[in-house]
Amino acid sequence: MSPCQQCGACCASYRVDFSVHELDENGGRVPSGLAVEVNDALCRMRGTDHTPMRCAALTGKIGQTVACGIYEWRPNPCHELQSGSDACERARARHGLPALDA
Q: Which residues fall within 8 angstroms of residue 21, CB to CB, at 6 or more apart? A: 27, 28
User: What long-range pairs does 67-72 form, CB within 8 A, spacing at least 24?
Assistant: 67/5, 68/11, 70/30, 70/31, 70/34, 72/29
What single-letter DSSP state applies at residue 51?
A: S
Residue pair 3/83 in contact (Cβ under 8 Å)? The answer is yes
For residue 85, the SS3 value is coil
d(CA 100, CA 52): 24
Q: Where are the domains of the chain?
A: 3-94
Residue 87: pLDDT over 60:
yes
Give the pLDDT confidence score for residue 58 in this predicted structure. 98
Give residue-wise pLDDT tens across range 25-81. 999 999 999 999 999 999 999 999 999 999 999 999 999 999 999 999 999 999 999
Residue 101: pLDDT over 90:
no
